[in-house]
Structure 1
Amino acid sequence: MQIEFKATKRDAQGTGASRRLRRAGRIPGILYGGAGETQPVSMDHNELYHLLRKEAFHASVLSIEVDGAKQNAVLRDVQWHPFKQQVLHLDFQRIAAGEKMHLKVPLHFVGADVAPAVKLGGCMISHTINELDVQCLPTDLPEFIEVDLSALEAGQSVHVSQIKLPAGVELVQHGEGDPVVATALQVKGAAEAEGEGEQA
């Protein structure tokens, strides 16, 4: 899915200029990387606020039109106001079509309701990781990665190595080991009932 929005070059910089932009319903931001120079920009607050609420906006190649010229980029950082529903600043990094990019992609868990751990074992599924660090070409970037939990048994876990990655997508591993993504945890009440059944 291609997400597009417009931005405007901004010349005035500094805290005062950013404050004036925000009062006018604009968000200051920056577009950097690639072959172009670092470009300070501003965007419509309402439009970007609603886009930021979409999961896909955080893991998609975005098309940013800056004063008529379209540039492809990914979202790198969002600064929010500590207590207001207000976006203070956005960072975007340009990407090139033939170069691999590095991005966090959300995980979508499916099949938990039919997993033996839940249906037969009375377990709850605990998600310990909700996104994966991957690298791929812009054309191969998935909006999300699916994790199938339908075969999960009580007491078992799904590890990163067991996730089927889409074609062209590689995992960016941090540190040693094989991190746990989801675990079937025994619910206390169910465990006690099972124990009482065995005693009887």
Structure 2
Amino acid sequence: MAVKLNAKKREDLAKSVTSEIRKSGRIPAVVYGKDKDAKTISVDSVDLVKTVRDEGRNAIISLQVEGGDTVDVMLHDYQIDPIKDDLLHADFYIVNMSEEMDVDVSVRLDGESKGEKEGGVLQQPFYEIQVRAKPKDIPEEIVVDVSDLDVNESLSISDLKVTGNYEFLDDPDTTIASVVPPTTEEDLETDTEADENAEPEVIKEKSDSEEE
């Protein structure tokens, strides 16, 4: 079920008006989609942040535009002030609930691996996986159980279980999690010795005949 978010039409795009919108606690935004005309709106900044925090980045939002239609959208992109960390702008994409779409879904590793208990280090090369699904079937996150993972073992996308009506689009051999042996003092000493014993590169001067 889509979560509701109220919006107001934004027809005057002057910088002064946009500034006033932000001062009032709202942010300018745009709504667009396939074969749809883009519309400029504004939404409450706090409401949008709360919606994304509670429902997830890929949540389906029922955007209720004041004096207009209600459309199902997803938050496609947003801009944040790098200094104040405030939301500056948001892009909403109109979705067709009956059509599949490709989205990035967060990956969360769950549990403590066998390898970590033995002193190994758990690594996570990727924090998102691309998924194809209809909007209502997009998972909030992909949870990966790593409890059986031992040192020098890894999990790839092909090892993941699909628990809903979606499919993974990334290469099945892509590593999602692995446990590597701990770096010991002996390893560090060996690396240092190898660097110290490495022969310097000799630059051979050209002979007169070679220069000619």
One fold, TM greater than 0.5? Answer: yes
Q: TM-score, normalised by structure 1?
A: 0.83
Give the counterpart of 1:118 among 91, 116, 119.
Answer: 116
Are the aligned partners of 1:2 and 1:60 in contact in 2 as well (CA < 8 Å)? yes
CA contact (8 A) 2:107 2:127 kept: yes
| Structure 2 counterpart SS, 1:19 | helix
Q: Distance in 2 between matches of 1:92 and 1:65?
A: 12
CA-atom RMSD in angstroms: 2.3
Q: In structure 1, list runs of 5 or more residues that go unmatched.
A: 193-200
Structure 2, unpaired ranges of 5+: 188-212
What residue number does 1:60 align with? 59
The 8 Å contact of residues 30 and 40 in structure 1, kept in 2 or not, is answered as yes
For 1:180, the equivalent position in structure 2 comes to 175
Matched, 1:45 2:45: yes
Deviation at 1:164, TM superposition (A): 1.5
Correspondence 1:36-185 to 2 at 5 A: 36-52=36-52, 54=53, 56-67=55-66, 69-111=69-111, 113=112, 115-119=113-117, 121-173=118-170, 178-185=173-180
Kept in 1: contact 2:101–2:135 (CA 8 A):
yes
What amino acid does structure 2 have at the position aligned with 1:7?
A: A
Question: How many pairs were matched up?
Answer: 186
Q: Given that residues 75 and 93 in structure 2 are in contact (C-alpha distance below 8 angstroms), is that contact kept between their aligned partners in structure 1?
A: yes
Separation (CA, whole Å) in 2 of partners of 1:181 and 1:56:
24
- Aligned partner of 2:20 in structure 1 is 20
Between Structure 1 and Structure 2, whose CA radius of gyration is higher? 2
Q: Which residue of 2 aligns with 1:197?
A: none
- Report percent identity of matched pairs: 26
Q: What CA deviation, in whole Å up to 9, does each residue of 1:100-149 have, x standing for no partner?
A: 112111112112x1x22122x21121111111111101221111111121
Give the 3-state SS of the residue equivalent to 1:132 in structure 2: strand
The 2-side partners of 1:191 and 1:60 are apart by: 49
TM-score (norm. length: structure 2): 0.78
**TM superposition shift of 1:178:** 2.3
Query: Which residue type is aligned with residue 61 of structure 1?
Result: I
Instruction: String of CA shifts for 1:161-194, please: whole Å, max 9, x gaps.
Output: 2122233211223xx67221111122225987xx
